[in-house]
Amino acid sequence: MDNTAIKVLVVLVSLWISYVQAIQSGRFSAVLAFGDSILDTGNNNLLMTVSRSNFIPYGRDFSHHVPTGRFGNGRVLSDLVAAGLGVKELLPAFRSPFLKSSELSTGVCFAFGGSGLDKFTASIQNVIWVQDQVNDFQRYIEKLNAQVGDPAQVKQIIANAVILISAGNNDLGITYFSTPAKSTRYTIQAYTDLLIGWKTTFINSLYDLGARKFAVLGTMPLGCLPGARQLLGNLICLPNVNYGARVYNEKVANLVNQYSQRLPDGKFVYIDMYNSLLEVIQNPTQYGFTTARPCCCSVMTPIPCLFSGGHVFWDFAHPSEKAYKTILPKILNTIQSNLA
């Protein structure tokens, strides 16, 4: 056996041992993130879109103060979930030209900032539609097979990966409540039914490709995002927008429950982003924040704040890294309790 063959064999054995150890310790093999900017770690960087964040002051608190395309001051939720589950410290963007093949087996991010379940949502911002992220997932599986060299092992890696999904924030916040063509054509009940139909198709597509452990995020309290609140002088959250988010989230939770009953060989859990973040927004000082106003990049804060750790929000729509960390323990507990 030549040296090259020996090296390949060592890599395969090492990967298999790592996977078996992960199973035995109750850990997950990987984290695979889909959806929108809550999870995007830089996939938008090479797109011709205004939904980009690979410029300062974004990434101000990231390692080496580098703007990576994450929509925040530091790590985003997908990074923190991957780190909290003991998988890896950072979740790389699948479309990054700097992605290393060694990263594939522990997971990547397929999410695109500005994307949604409604194809219209993605098209108006020229980003990749959530359903088309399945195409990237298929390419990922091909690359993982090439790296690992064992289809059975690849199947096990994917089956034991946490599939993290955040989709619906932009469909409601941008497409429905900011586009008269949608809100006049559909009631909120009818539009959220459409979103659930598209979400079902999306989850089915991932399941058919071998995914088995799904953590499905509800939307944030969209009426309380700084960009929404500024419409009323930052005095109150927009009640109609929050109502729409609650209607949608209830349907998502019901969908996840239906999947749990219908597909016993899969595991599904709903992640309540709405109430977790709303509690922090309404009581910022109790959680170590000074304000729920954004730190930067909004009409209210044209000049970035000096200390982002005092702000619940980084910009007009995205929580700060500290805010994500504040709600992270409950998210991790939910995932570990239901998907391990």
Question: Which carries the bigger pLDDT value, residue 25 or residue 153?
Answer: 153
C-alpha span between 240 and 321 (Å, rounded): 27
pLDDT band for position 84 (50/70/90)? very high
Q: From the candidates 29, 36, 37, 40, which is the catalytic residue? A: 37
101 is known as an active-site residue: no
Q: What is the pLDDT of residue 149?
A: 95
Query: Domains of the chain: which residue ranges?
Result: 30-107+117-339
Question: Given a cut of 90, is residue 283 above it in pLDDT?
Answer: yes
Could you give the 3-state DSSP secondary structure of residue 110? coil
Q: What is the pLDDT of residue 230?
A: 85
Q: What is the pLDDT of residue 1?
A: 54
Q: From the candidates 78, 298, 308, 318, which is the catalytic residue? A: 318
193 is known as an active-site residue: no
Give the model confidence (pLDDT) of 9-67 as tens digits.
444 444 444 444 444 445 899 999 999 999 999 999 999 999 999 999 999 999 999 99
17 φ, ψ (degrees, to nearest 5) = -60, -45
Question: Given a cut of 70, is residue 3 above it in pLDDT?
Answer: no
DSSP string over 196-246: HHHHHHHHHHHHHTT--EEEEE----GGGSHHHHGGGTTSS--HHHHHHHH
Element (H or E) spanning 142, and its range?
helix 133-148
Question: Which carries the bigger pLDDT value, residue 232 or residue 64?
Answer: 64
Q: Is the pTM of this model over 0.85?
A: yes
Structure tokens at 228: 């929404």
Asked if 338 contacts 267 with a C-beta cutoff of 8 angstroms, the reply is yes
315 is known as an active-site residue: yes
Q: What is the pLDDT of residue 259?
A: 97
Q: pLDDT > 90: what percent of the chain?
A: 87
Average of pLDDT values for 94-119?
Answer: 98
Question: Given a cut of 60, is residue 334 above it in pLDDT?
Answer: yes
Q: From the candidates 118, 276, 315, 320, which is the catalytic residue? A: 315
Fold of 30-107+117-339: Rossmann fold (3.40.50)
Average of pLDDT values for 280-291?
Answer: 97
How big is the CA angle at 101 (ends 97 and 102), to the nearest 5 degrees? 130
